[in-house]
Amino acid sequence: MLQRRFSLNKFTLLFCLASFGLFSEVVAQTVLKGRVVTEKGEAIPHATVWLGDAKGEVADEQGNFSLSELPKEGKFKISAVGFETVSASWPAGKTQETFVLKQSTADLETVVVTGSFEPQSARQSVYQVRTIGSEVIQNRAPSTVQEILSTELGIRFSQDNALGSSNMELLGMSGQNVKILIDGIPMVGRQGTSNEININQIDINRIERVEIVEGPMSVVYGADALAGVINIITKADDAQKLSLKARVQEETVGSEYSPFDGEGNHLRSVTGGYRVKGWDFGASFSQNNFGGWKGEETGRQFEWLPKDQNFFNAKVGWTGKTVNLEYQLDFLDETVFAYGPDARLEVLDQEFITSRWMHRLSGKWAAKPDFALTWQGAYTDYERESQTWVTNVRTGERYQSQAPAANSTIFYTGFSWRMIGDWKVDEKFRFQPGIDLNTETGSGERIEDNEGIQDYAVFLSGEWSPVPSVKIKPGLRKSWNSAYDAPGLIPSLNTKVSLHENLDLRLAYANGFRAPSIRELYFNFFDASHSITGNPDLKAETSNSFNGSLDWRAKANTDWGITSVLGVFYNDVKDKIAYGQDPNDIQVTTLFNVEYYRTAGVTLNQTHSYKNLTANVGFSYIGRYNQLTEEQTEVPEMSWTPEVNTNLTYRILPWRSVVTLFYKWTGALPGYEIVADSGGNPVASEVMLDGYHWMDITFKKDFGKHLSVNLGARNLLDVKQISSTSGGGEAHGGGAQRPVGYGRSYFLGLTYQLNK
Amino acid sequence: MKKYRFLPVTALLAGVVLVSSCSDDPDPVIVPPTESGLIEVDGGGATYPNTVFVSLRAEKQTAVPRASWDLAFSTGSDFKVLINGTTGAMASATTKTDINAVGTTEIAAAEASGELIMGFTNMVGILKVDNAANPLSQPVIAAVSATDASNVVYLLSRGASAAEARPWKKVRIIRKGDGYTLQHANADATTFSTLDITKNADDNFVYVNFETGIVDVEPAKTDWDIAWTAGTSSTTSQGTTLAYFYQDLVYHNIYGGTSAVAVLEETVPYAEFDETDVPTLAFNSDNRLTIGSTWRFTGGGPPPSPTPTVYDTIYYIVKDSDGNVYKVRFLSLTKDGERGKPSFEYELVEAGN
């Protein structure tokens, strides 16, 4: 969405000419023949030849165009989507000439892979895929994945500062309904009460781009792809022979900073790649040290917990004639330090230590021109340990507590194997059968012994293009699950219609499901005032989802391009898992498939690109269902929240610099809770979570061939907390303040890149 | 703290020597109150199975399992009976006076309403427990009437809060002279047992366990000042007051003549508090929750939740039944990181009579 090609064709041209009142009839009388090609000599279809005075000519499919008369002084411009515009002059005396356009880095056609068999242009995909491209990520110089996503429309994060993590919401649905993929492979290791993948446990330095698909993709990706899919695409080694990259970045955390260690945020990363014959080797190491943020806390405690992360990646790839294979190993080691409050006798500190080993094997076999096979397999070993450390203030002794429950570990292992075949029946029809095997086991403190979850699925989708402008992609998935009742057949239907060369309409219906997690099935917790158990009899939550989008792009003139995407969605979730009283023992709280939930919304996104300025403005209006409406008729069924975001990018070419401004307004979020009125009767009361404005500004400059410098300010508006009007109980007072940020922070980063 | 230990011991020895050598006076030995101390409360650990009674002047603690008793019979002039709030017991009056007539109907009704189950959904729970602050002022079992026909049968949950749930009981209490007669049985039984209880003026209560009869629980009423326990109190949820079970409640001995008051560090720092500050304080002798849970913060809920902590902004002044005034401050909720083993320290501010 942030990078989109600007297409041009006769319609827009006519439209523009007409709107500028400069339309004049061109008499067809061929005198000059030209051809527009790439640097490799391939034809560029539909390039536009600008003759001044807003007159123009459009090249055909083969890049050929003809001019009936010579432009003024023989000078004109040629532009095409994805290429840099050139000013050319017709060589005197020639009637035929070839013009070469260089590929533009800024307007590169966005390529997406999510949901498709092989990389394809975003325009061609039947899914409306939002992409956060590599250029945006480079300009932003982020330190976490959350920073990239948090200014996206429809994405909200809420900080869980007790754990040093955060929870995500996508289009009104909680993060456990979002499938997080790395290069199409599902992440393993849900954590915390929110039961989410911690998206910040991914090495930011390895991310090439992020693709977001809204709406269920359960046919292809199975469980939990209910609200949508976030597919994190890692960097491919694009060097000819040798590549080397090093990055150092220093950030303040609010006003707290000390160089290279302690206070502040310190990032270091080194990546190398080597390619020889069909082989491709790579390795990277990254280290992030976040010093935490004290905020209002005094003494030993932090509002934002300090965190150390180490990432290691190694990969080896082999490309043969018809087969390519790649193995990658990712290792994460993370320690979050929760320093306990000062005390007169015993100080208790906690450390949350995560280690994750992820092995991935992916490949493709192009067996025949009309048949290919891809596979992606992964094995993940995830372990999260909580340790309690005691410091005796009077003796100064520090030791690990041996008290019951003071230390605990949760283990997850996950295996997944997805294999998809692609069979081109003819030009109009492709057939894609697939299998998807997933097994997950979880064990550890408070998780009841269990057999794990085995999920086996087959799916089938076809892509039928009866006429070139129409694509219809129906899909079906059937799965078998060992732990819970898997939903029956999961259908989906995605369609894309090119109403016009400039205008694409996508309509989709899909069935989605979210599997009950190991925590929901088997987690038990008992103490003085809590008796909480998992429910091994849960079934999956299922949803019906409809979404549609209209994608329009135009070029007003050589310099000004516009794209617009209007999207609407409606999700209807049944059998939502929620806590309730166990009918057999009402003292016990457990989980049931009881609730109903719904979201709906509209999003509008517009990008204007004028010369070196790109401006993106988005608006969303998202409604969330109020559960209380079922008991309290005065509660509206849906609560609506607006969001506005803007990205401005300005390239200062003489300085080889880019300035980028990211802005998002997250509107207030209304909700309802039950309170007692003066007579002691329960009544619904509106609670409001305040909205807030977020702004980052970044500056990037390239020096020489290899070096670039990033500097900027994050959270320019100095947001720290937002307030909620929720009362809460004495025992569970959530606190009226919710953390959002740690205040205005500054960063300076250095990237060195060598490609040979 | 150790260095003070010899003091009472030597004083005691000296006293004994003095008394036995000089006189045959049968007056009790006068033991000077402990000057200061640190108590590591033996709460039993993470499941806090004990109630721990502490005598400050004797620097002594007595740990008693919370689930060791069911009913506490007041030894005062009134005829009142308490249920065991330290296990979260709850009771509900029936309309019947014949204990054998109470059974499946009443059980079914109480099960259906959930009134004898403590939790966030029990809106009437607060009416089914003794007043947490001053149980004798408002016990769930009505004061035992001299008219037997006025004493109804109660359905009783023996408490399932951090205690093993046991089958419900039914009880009826009538007077017997200056004492009581307890009729009790399993809630669905058709026969019942009886037990006579005689008041003992040295104790606040006579404790009864349904299986073992009269049991020792609380030390003599002048032999303890504060007690650490888990127990029923209340919380507010969605505007309603609910019975809620707490760990780390601290009661002071309001029925044995102990009074207490909280002082904020910002008013007078603990270190500087001395006898001149005592007259400015209004000691509380009718709310045993003056200390209560005000000394600590817990996040509550399944992990992760905020680390529970002891507030360093508050301490307490406790005046024992001898008039000794102590300042008491809590140090820790844990011992070696284990909950249910709190500690506090105290110092004598002013010696009593």
What ipTM is given for this predicted complex?
A: 0.72
Instruction: Write down the pLDDT at residue B298.
Output: 77
The mean pLDDT of A672-696, rounded to a whole number, is 83
The mean pLDDT of B295-299, rounded to a whole number, is 82
User: What is the least distance, in Å, from the CA of A211 to any CA of chain B?
Assistant: 31
Q: CB–CB of B304 and A193 under 8 A? A: yes
Q: Which of B40, B241, B334 to mutate to test the interface with A (most CBs of A within 10 A)?
A: B334
- Taken in order A587, A588, A594, A595, is the CA torsion positive or negative? positive
What is the rounded distance in angstroms from the CA atom of residue A332 to the CA atom of residue A691?
34
Predicted confidence band of residue A30 (pLDDT cuts 50, 70, 90): low
Predicted confidence band of residue A3 (pLDDT cuts 50, 70, 90): very low
Whether B295 contacts B343, CB under 8 Å: no
Taking 80 as the threshold, does the pLDDT of residue B7 lie above it?
Answer: no
The mean pLDDT of A5-25, rounded to a whole number, is 41
- Nearest chain B residue to A394, by CA: B331
What is the rounded distance in angstroms from the CA atom of residue A298 to the CA atom of residue A263?
15
Instruction: Write down the pLDDT at residue A140.
Output: 92
Measure Cα distances from B332 to B216, B280, B340 in Å. 29, 28, 10
Regarding whether B49 and B145 lie in a shared domain, the answer is no
Q: CB–CB of B332 and A346 under 8 A? A: yes
Q: Does A52 touch chain B (CB under 8 A)?
A: no
What is the rounded distance in angstroms from the CA atom of residue A415 to the CA atom of residue A418?
10
Note the pLDDT tens digit of each residue in A151-181.
Answer: 999 999 988 887 778 889 999 998 888 999 9
What is the rounded distance in angstroms from the CA atom of residue A160 to the CA atom of residue A734?
12
Taking 50 as the threshold, does the pLDDT of residue A110 lie above it?
Answer: yes
Cβ count within 10 A of residue A320: 11
The residue type at B138? Q
How many domains are contained in chain B?
3
Taking 50 as the threshold, does the pLDDT of residue A9 lie above it?
Answer: no
User: What is the least distance, in Å, from the CA of A640 to any CA of chain B?
Assistant: 24
Q: What SS3 class is residue A128? A: coil
Taking 80 as the threshold, does the pLDDT of residue A659 lie above it?
Answer: yes
Nearest CB partner across the interface for B244, out of A529, A587, A677: A529
Most confident of A75-84, A193-202, B90-99: B90-99
Task: Give the A window 643-702 contacts with B, CB below 8 Å.
Answer: 673-677, 680, 682
Nearest CB partner across the interface for A525, out of B236, B247, B302: B302
Which residues of B are less than 8 Å from A404 in CB distance? 45-46, 338
Instruction: Write down the pLDDT at residue A107.
Output: 45
User: What is the least distance, in Å, from the CA of A733 to any CA of chain B?
Assistant: 8
Predicted confidence band of residue A720 (pLDDT cuts 50, 70, 90): very high
Q: CB–CB of A160 and B339 under 8 A? A: no
Which residues of A are less than 8 Å from B45 in CB distance? 403-404
Q: CB–CB of A586 and B119 under 8 A? A: yes
Which residues of A are less than 8 Å from B240 in CB distance? 676, 680, 682
- Token match 């040290």: residue? A289
What is the rounded distance in angstroms from the CA atom of residue A560 to the CA atom of residue A608?
7
Taking 70 as the threshold, does the pLDDT of residue B27 lie above it?
Answer: no
Predicted confidence band of residue A482 (pLDDT cuts 50, 70, 90): confident
Note the pLDDT tens digit of each residue in A443-459.
Answer: 887 787 788 888 899 99
Among the listed residues A545, A547, A574, A414, the one whose alpha carbon sits nearest the alpha carbon of residue A487: A574
**Which range (A171-175, A239-243, A516-520) has the least confidence?**
A239-243
Q: Does A732 touch chain B (CB under 8 A)?
A: yes
Q: Which of B66, B164, B168, B332 to mutate to test the interface with A (most CBs of A within 10 A)?
A: B332
DSSP H helical ranges for A635-737: none
What is the rounded distance in angstroms from the CA atom of residue B334 to the CA atom of residue A390?
10
DSSP 8-state code for residue B61? E
Instruction: Write down the pLDDT at residue A354.
Output: 94
Comparison of pLDDT for A91 and A521, the residue scoring more: A521
Nearest CB partner across the interface for A729, out of B45, B236, B343: B236
Instruction: Write down the pLDDT at residue A527.
Output: 67
Taking 90 as the threshold, does the pLDDT of residue B274 lie above it?
Answer: yes
Q: For chain A, give the mean pLDDT.
A: 85
DSSP H helical ranges for chain B: 2-22, 104-113
Q: Which of A305, A344, A672 to mutate to test the interface with B (most CBs of B within 10 A)?
A: A344
List, in sequence order, every residue forming a beta bridge with A700; answer none if it has no partner.
A658, A710
Helix and strand numbers (H, E) in chain B are 2, 20
**Which range (A181-185, A556-560, B222-226) has the least confidence?**
A556-560
Predicted confidence band of residue A342 (pLDDT cuts 50, 70, 90): confident
**Which range (A343-347, A374-378, A481-485, B62-66) has the least confidence?**
A481-485
Task: Give the A window 156-175 contacts with B, CB below 8 Å.
Answer: 160, 162-163
Lookup: tokens for B216: 């020792």
Predicted confidence band of residue B306 (pLDDT cuts 50, 70, 90): low
Which residues of A are less than 8 Å from B48 in CB distance? 528
Regarding whether B169 and B128 lie in a shared domain, the answer is yes
Task: Give the B window 113-172 contacts with A, CB below 8 Å.
Answer: 114, 117-121, 160-162, 165
- Nearest chain A residue to B239, by CA: A676
Phi, psi dihedral angles at A376 (to 5 degrees) = -140, 120
Taking 50 as the threshold, does the pLDDT of residue A11 lie above it?
Answer: no
Regarding whether B125 and B150 lie in a shared domain, the answer is yes
Predicted confidence band of residue A17 (pLDDT cuts 50, 70, 90): very low
Q: CB–CB of A730 and B237 under 8 A? A: yes
Q: What is the percent of chain A where pLDDT is above 70? A: 90
Cβ count within 10 A of residue A576: 19
Cβ count within 10 A of residue A345: 23
Instruction: Write down the pLDDT at residue A340.
Output: 86
Q: CB–CB of A402 and B337 under 8 A? A: yes
Taking 60 as the threshold, does the pLDDT of residue B292 lie above it?
Answer: yes
Taking 60 as the threshold, does the pLDDT of residue A1 lie above it?
Answer: no
- Token match 């019906």: residue? A544
Instruction: Write down the pLDDT at residue B17.
Output: 42
Task: Give the A window 396-435 contacts with B, CB below 8 Å.
Answer: 399, 401-406
User: What is the least distance, in Å, from the CA of B161 to any CA of chain A?
Assistant: 6
Instruction: Write down the pLDDT at residue B3.
Output: 41
- Name the domain boundary from B215, B240, B261: B215
Secondary structure element (H or E) that encloses residue A149, with its range: helix A145-149
Taking 80 as the threshold, does the pLDDT of residue A55 lie above it?
Answer: no
Regarding whether B90 and B102 lie in a shared domain, the answer is yes
Predicted confidence band of residue A109 (pLDDT cuts 50, 70, 90): low
Among the listed residues A485, A488, A479, the one whose alpha carbon sits nearest the alpha carbon of residue A456: A479
Instruction: Write down the pLDDT at residue A82.
Output: 65
Predicted confidence band of residue A106 (pLDDT cuts 50, 70, 90): very low
What is the rounded distance in angstroms from the CA atom of residue A554 to the CA atom of residue A549?
17
Comparison of pLDDT for A159 and B196, the residue scoring more: B196
Taking 80 as the threshold, does the pLDDT of residue A79 lie above it?
Answer: no
Comparison of pLDDT for A647 and A53, the residue scoring more: A647
Instruction: Write down the pLDDT at residue A74.
Output: 73
The mean pLDDT of A244-272, rounded to a whole number, is 94
Regarding whether B249 and B195 lie in a shared domain, the answer is no
Q: Does B51 touch chain A (CB under 8 A)?
A: no
Q: CB–CB of B304 and A675 under 8 A? A: no
Q: Does A631 touch chain B (CB under 8 A)?
A: no
What is the rounded distance in angstroms from the CA atom of residue A151 to the CA atom of residue A202?
18
Q: Which of B338, B344, B347 to mutate to test the interface with A (most CBs of A within 10 A)?
A: B338
Instruction: Write down the pLDDT at residue A237.
Output: 65
Taking 70 as the threshold, does the pLDDT of residue A512 lie above it?
Answer: yes
DSSP 8-state code for residue A406? S
Contacts of B269 (CB under 8 A, 6+ apart): none
Regarding whether B178 and B137 lie in a shared domain, the answer is yes
Cβ count within 10 A of residue B14: 11
Predicted confidence band of residue A5 (pLDDT cuts 50, 70, 90): very low
Q: CB–CB of A404 and B338 under 8 A? A: yes
Phi, psi dihedral angles at B135 (to 5 degrees) = -60, -35
Q: Which of B129, B237, B296, B347 to mutate to test the interface with A (most CBs of A within 10 A)?
A: B237
Regarding whether B191 and B79 lie in a shared domain, the answer is yes
User: What is the least distance, in Å, from the CA of A409 to any CA of chain B?
Assistant: 12
**Which range (A78-92, A290-304, A416-430, B154-168) has the least confidence?**
A78-92
- Nearest chain A residue to B240, by CA: A676
Beta strand pairing status for A48-50 and B179-186? Answer: unpaired
Beta strand pairing status for A585-610 and A560-582? Answer: antiparallel
Taking 90 as the threshold, does the pLDDT of residue B323 lie above it?
Answer: yes
Comparison of pLDDT for A44 and A36, the residue scoring more: A36
What is the rounded distance in angstroms from the CA atom of residue B242 to the CA atom of residue B115?
11
Give the burial class of B166: count Cβ atoms within 10 A of its Cβ; 0-12 exposed, 13-18 middle, 19 or more buried: middle
Q: CB–CB of B337 and A528 under 8 A? A: no
User: What is the least distance, in Å, from the CA of A513 to any CA of chain B?
Assistant: 27
Regarding whether B195 and B89 lie in a shared domain, the answer is yes
Q: For chain B, give the mean pLDDT.
A: 89
Measure Cα distances from A338 to A184, A408, A582, A737, B304 in Å. 33, 15, 34, 20, 11
The residue type at B301? G
Which residues of A are less than 8 Å from B157 in CB distance? none
Q: CB–CB of B337 and A525 under 8 A? A: no
Nearest CB partner across the interface for B338, out of A401, A446, A682: A401
Taking 80 as the threshold, does the pLDDT of residue A25 lie above it?
Answer: no
For B164, the domain range is: 70-215
Cβ count within 10 A of residue B325: 24
The residue type at B348? L
Instruction: Write down the pLDDT at residue A13.
Output: 40
Nearest CB partner across the interface for A528, out of B245, B309, B310: B245
List, in sequence order, every residue forming a beta bridge with A289; answer none if it has no partner.
A266, A308
Beta strand pairing status for A707-714 and A721-723? Answer: unpaired
- Token match 């009226």: residue? A736
What is the rounded distance in angstroms from the CA atom of residue A363 to the CA atom of residue A365?
7
Predicted confidence band of residue B352 (pLDDT cuts 50, 70, 90): confident
Q: CB–CB of A404 and B46 under 8 A? A: yes
- Name the domain boundary from B160, B186, B215: B215
- Virtual torsion, Cα A181, A186, A187, A192, nearest 10 deg: 100
Regarding whether B48 and B88 lie in a shared domain, the answer is no
pTM for the whole structure: 0.78
The residue type at A692? Y
Phi, psi dihedral angles at A730 (to 5 degrees) = -65, -40
Task: Give the B window 260-319 contacts with A, CB below 8 Å.
Answer: 299-307, 309-310, 312
Domains and their CATH numbers in chain A: 10-100 (2.60.40.1120), 111-117+232-299+466-755 (2.40.170.20)
Taking 80 as the threshold, does the pLDDT of residue A645 lie above it?
Answer: yes
Contacts of A749 (CB under 8 A, 6+ apart): A141, A247, A248, A249, A250, A267, A709, A710, A711
- Name the domain boundary from B151, B180, B215: B215
User: What is the least distance, in Å, from the CA of A170 to any CA of chain B?
Assistant: 23
Whether A556 contacts A16, CB under 8 Å: yes
